[in-house]
């Protein structure tokens, strides 16, 4: 059985490299149930392959766990430690897509997320922001937004005593700009 073909205005096939200067990997987590702490990962890389049929496209991303940043050095160091991310033993977070599907007018990106050496399936809500051309160098560019919510405990990110102050649910937000690789 073949995968149905989807039409996206301006769609361009190819292999794209995520531009870390114009992209953002961030998160939101509740603290004490009353406030939200926002942060991001500052170092990441990835590739997007847009296939002839958009539903056959693929995404891979690698995130440097040590680049975790919330604008509070003490908290950041604690989260990088053994009780949370344990970056010394698990220096990277990774995502590898397993499929793209359409849900009404929306797209869903399924994949395997690995945090702290634990891999779990996740589904991201995907928005194709568009395809264009950089006015700086004429290179083809693409923009996407994606979001999901995960349980940190599913990935064995317990947090010790401090874990009781932080919600289990973490919202992940991605704003991605990528440039098409030219042969």
> CB–CB of 20/41 below 8 Å?
no
20: nearest Cα among 183, 177, 181, 180? 177
Give the model's confidence band at 183: pLDDT under 50 very low, under 70 low, under 90 confident, else very high: low
Q: Which helix (H) or strand (E) holds 78?
A: helix 73-80
Angle, CA of 43, 68 and 44, to the nearest 5°? 20
The DSSP element (H or E) to which 167 belongs, if any, is: strand 166-180
- Compute φ and ψ for 104, nearest 5 degrees: 65, -125
> How far apart (Å, rounded) are the C-alpha atoms in residues 78 and 122?
26
Arithmetic mean of pLDDT, 22-39: 95
Radius of gyration of the chain (CA): 17
- What's the pLDDT band for 4 if we cut at 50, 70, 90? low
Distance CA 48, CA 149 (A): 21
Which pLDDT score, from 0 to 100, does residue 161 have?
A: 80
For the segment 56-87, what is each residue's pLDDT rounded down to a tens digit? 999 999 999 999 999 999 999 999 999 999 99
Averaged over 105-126, what is the pLDDT? Answer: 96
Average pLDDT, the chain: 93
Mean pLDDT on 24-47: 96
Residue 59: predicted pLDDT: 98
What the chain holds in terms of domains, given with CATH numbers, is 18-180 (2.40.128.110)
Average pLDDT of the residues in 110-131: 97
The pLDDT tens digits of the residues spanning 122-177 come to: 999 999 999 999 988 889 999 999 999 999 999 999 888 877 889 999 999 999 99
d(CA 3, CA 124): 20
* Cα–Cα distance measured from residue 63 to residue 60, given in angstroms and rounded to the nearest whole number: 10
**Contact assessment for residue 177 and residue 143, using Cβ atoms and an 8 Å cutoff:** yes
Share of the chain above pLDDT 90, in %: 83
- Please determine, for residue 95, whether its predicted confidence score (pLDDT) is greater than 70: yes
Q: Is the pLDDT of residue 1 over 60?
A: no
């Amino acid at each position: 059985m073949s995968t149905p073909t989807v039409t996206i205005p301006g769609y361009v096939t190819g292999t794209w490299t995520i531009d870390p200067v114009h992209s953002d990997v961030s998160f939101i987590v509740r603290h004490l149930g009353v406030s939200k702490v926002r942060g991001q990962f500052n170092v990441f890389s990835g590739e997007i392959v847009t296939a002839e049929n958009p539903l056959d496209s693929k995404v891979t991303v690698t995130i440097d766990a040590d680049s975790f940043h919330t604008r509070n050095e003490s908290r950041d160091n604690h989260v990088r430690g053994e009780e949370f991310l344990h970056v010394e033993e698990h220096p990277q977070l990774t995502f590898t897509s397993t499929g793209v599907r359409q849900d009404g007018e929306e797209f869903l990106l399924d994949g395997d997320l690995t945090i702290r050496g634990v891999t779990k399936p996740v589904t991201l809500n995907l928005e194709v922001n568009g395809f264009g051309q950089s006015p700086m160098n004429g290179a083809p560019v693409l923009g996407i937004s994606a979001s999901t919510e995960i349980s940190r405990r599913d990935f064995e990110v317990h947090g010790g005593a401090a874990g009781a102050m932080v919600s289990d649910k973490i919202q992940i937000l991605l704003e991605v700009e990528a440039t098409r690789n030219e042969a």
